[in-house]
């Protein structure tokens, strides 16, 4: 039984102006969960106007009071955690344990960013002139667009919306078309928490209509986007024409290095979790293992046994290890990459098929896949697949492994397993990624540390942590001259 989702504009729930709808589908069963507005540029115009009007008063609310809204939102998220996690599993497929973790990130972010209401620190400094005071303070930017993906449908929207709101901005939020239900619930939670009408507006629809309208709207002053590299380039290019501020969080091709002194039991556990958790649909997922030649064969044997034992199924079932991928297009893309890998000479030792038997045939399931005999030049070792496909490469030394790890376009997350402290610190220094793990996998970012990557993973901004509020604020320098006379900096010194 499905129900109707609506846009949320100026504090009111309403259908798209066009009246058009699309279906929100459970990827494990093919069942329609909800009918969703297929909004257009006209809905975006209304939402941006509402945000612009609301921001005039929201910016004047003291930041600690803005933070109080997020504290209340965090409490509601906590109270509804299990309900939201189950809805998430039905909507995008990840197993229930992971969905609970996704919601928990939203809870953690609510409380952390609520505290920023009392930590939006500027600074004071000395002046080069007598009887003059100098300081710098933060200002909100104004009205922004939040565009999020489907793989973390609660965590990523809260990473973006909560710091933007506590900083005094108003927002138009366009969630991924595959996960509207969790965005709807986040809107309801913020409404219940007391966020004034118009400060957050939800517009459901495609990137080609809603996303493009947001990018080109003259009153949108900043855009925070997480998604594919190709779309991110277009967002940056088009928004850059109007000098809009843009934050991009894009792809990854993350590597786990396993040295010859590694704890192979620990490494195997961590690799399986990093590669096949969320069905490999994480920007931090491990898609490459770079194994020292001395332990390569043993590690491959361990991984092969574990991969073949993974159980596909509905994420709501306790027996499921790996859920579905998000949709038919993703299924076909993953299968296409597996065929490319085989064509390039990689050896498939596990998986590599679309599930077509029993209940699995109703959804979008791909068997967890393991490749060996992979070389750094192969496409499966260089391009983001975003699915349950892992490639194992061989290295002769630490230096060789580090070179291979860095020899891709992306630079989000990396990991090394070793007991050697000297190797550890060389890896920390030389891995060209925004996240480095020692003796753990590539996933599991904590919200009080900055999240983001290098190279084509993004454009240099960070989300969460101590820098999480930076993108959503402007610095304002203030000079107070109490000398009672004309003073000229750099001249009268």
Query: Rounded CA gap, 105 and 82, in Å?
Result: 13
Q: Looking at the DSSP assignment, which residues form a beta bridge with residue 411? A: 454
Write out the two tokens for 166.
């506590």
Are 176 and 149 within 8 A, CB to CB?
yes
What value, to the nearest 5°, has the Cα angle with vertex 106 and ends 104 and 112? 105
Query: Rounded CA gap, 415 and 16, in Å?
Result: 45
Query: Rounded CA gap, 463 and 90, in Å?
Result: 27
Query: Rounded CA gap, 303 and 371, in Å?
Result: 10
Per-residue confidence (pLDDT) for residue 99, from 0 to 100: 98
CA dihedral 412, 418, 423, 428 (to 10 degrees): 20
The active-site residue, picked from 91, 105, 249, 463, is: 249
Are 471 and 124 within 8 A, CB to CB?
no
Q: How far is it between the farthest Cα atoms of the chain?
A: 85
Per-residue confidence (pLDDT) for residue 466, from 0 to 100: 82
Per-residue confidence (pLDDT) for residue 305, from 0 to 100: 98
- Catalytic residue check, 82: no
Write the CA distances from 456 to 212, 230, 383, 459, 465, integer angstroms. 22, 10, 12, 7, 21
Per-residue confidence (pLDDT) for residue 467, from 0 to 100: 86
Query: Rounded CA gap, 20 and 42, in Å?
Result: 13
Q: Which parts of the chain sit beneath pLDDT 50?
A: none
Are 203 and 39 within 8 A, CB to CB?
yes
Per-residue confidence (pLDDT) for residue 2, from 0 to 100: 66
Domains of the chain: 3-250 (3.40.605.10), 254-438 (3.40.309.10)
Sheet holding 413-417, edge to edge: 347-350, 369-372, 389-395, 286-292, 254-258, 413-417, 435-438
400 C-beta neighbours (distance < 10 Å), count:
16
Write the CA distances from 464 to 62, 417, 486, integer angstroms. 21, 26, 44
Per-residue confidence (pLDDT) for residue 3, from 0 to 100: 80
The active-site residue, picked from 283, 286, 456, 463, is: 283
Are 365 and 325 within 8 A, CB to CB?
yes
Nearest Cα residue to 390 out of 412, 411, 369:
369
- Catalytic residue check, 286: no
Q: Percent helix, strand, coil in the chain (nearest 5)?
A: 40, 20, 35
> Whose structure tokens read 């092969």?
304
368 C-beta neighbours (distance < 10 Å), count:
25
């Amino acid at each position: 039984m499905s129900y109707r989702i609506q846009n949320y504009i100026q504090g009111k729930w309403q259908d798209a102006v066009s009246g058009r709808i699309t279906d929100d589908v459970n990827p494990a069963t093919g069942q329609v969960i909800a009918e969703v507005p297929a909004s257009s540029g006209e809905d975006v115009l209304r939402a941006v106007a509402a945000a612009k009007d609301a921001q005039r008063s929201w910016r004047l609310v003291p930041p600690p009071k803005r933070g109080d809204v997020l504290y209340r939102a965090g409490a509601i998220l906590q109270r509804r955690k299990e309900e939201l996690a189950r809805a998430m599993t039905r909507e995008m497929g990840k197993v229930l344990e992971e969905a609970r973790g996704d919601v928990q990130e939203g809870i953690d972010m609510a409380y952390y960013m609520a505290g920023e209401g009392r930590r939006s620190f500027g600074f004071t400094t000395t002046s080069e002139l007598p009887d003059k005071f100098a300081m710098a303070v933060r200002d909100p930017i104004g009205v922004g667009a939040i565009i999020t993906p489907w793989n973390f449908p609660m965590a990523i929207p809260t990473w973006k919306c909560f710091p933007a709101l506590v900083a005094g901005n108003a927002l138009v939020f366009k969630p991924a078309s595959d996960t509207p239900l969790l965005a709807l619930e986040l809107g309801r939670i913020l409404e219940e928490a007391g966020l004034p009408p118009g400060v957050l507006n939800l517009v459901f629809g495609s990137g080609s209509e809603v996303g493009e309208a947001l990018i080109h709207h003259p009153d949108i002053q900043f855009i925070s986007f997480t998604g594919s590299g190709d779309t991110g380039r277009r967002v940056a290019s088009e928004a850059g024409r109007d000098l809009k501020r843009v934050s991009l969080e894009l792809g990854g091709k993350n590597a786990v290095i396993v040295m010859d002194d590694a704890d192979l039991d620990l490494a195997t556990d961590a690799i399986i979790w990093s590669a096949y958790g969320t069905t490999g649909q994480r920007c931090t997922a491990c898609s490459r293992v770079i194994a020292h030649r001395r332990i390569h064969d043993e590690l491959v044997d361990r991984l092969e046994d574990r991969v073949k034992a993974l159980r596909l199924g509905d994420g709501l079932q306790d027996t499921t290890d790996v859920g579905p991928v998000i949709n038919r297009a993703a299924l076909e893309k993953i299968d296409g990459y597996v065929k490319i890998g085989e064509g390039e000479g990689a050896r498939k030792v596990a998986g590599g098929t679309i599930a077509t038997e029993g209940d699995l045939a109703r959804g979008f399931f791909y068997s967890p896949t393991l490749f060996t005999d992979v070389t750094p030049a192969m496409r499966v070792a260089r391009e983001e697949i975003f699915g349950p496909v892992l490639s194992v490469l061989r290295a002769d030394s630490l230096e060789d492994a580090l070179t291979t790890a860095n020899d891709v376009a992306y630079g989000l997350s990396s990991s090394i397993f070793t007991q050697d402290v000297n190797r550890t610190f060389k890896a920390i220094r030389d891995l060209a990624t925004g996240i480095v793990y020692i003796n753990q996998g590539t996933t599991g970012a904590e919200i009080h540390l900055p999240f983001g990557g290098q190279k084509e993973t993004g454009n240099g901004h960070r989300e969460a942590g101590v820098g999480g509020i930076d993108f959503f604020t402007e610095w304002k320098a203030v000079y107070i001259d109490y000398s009672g006379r004309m003073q000229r900096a750099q001249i009268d010194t």
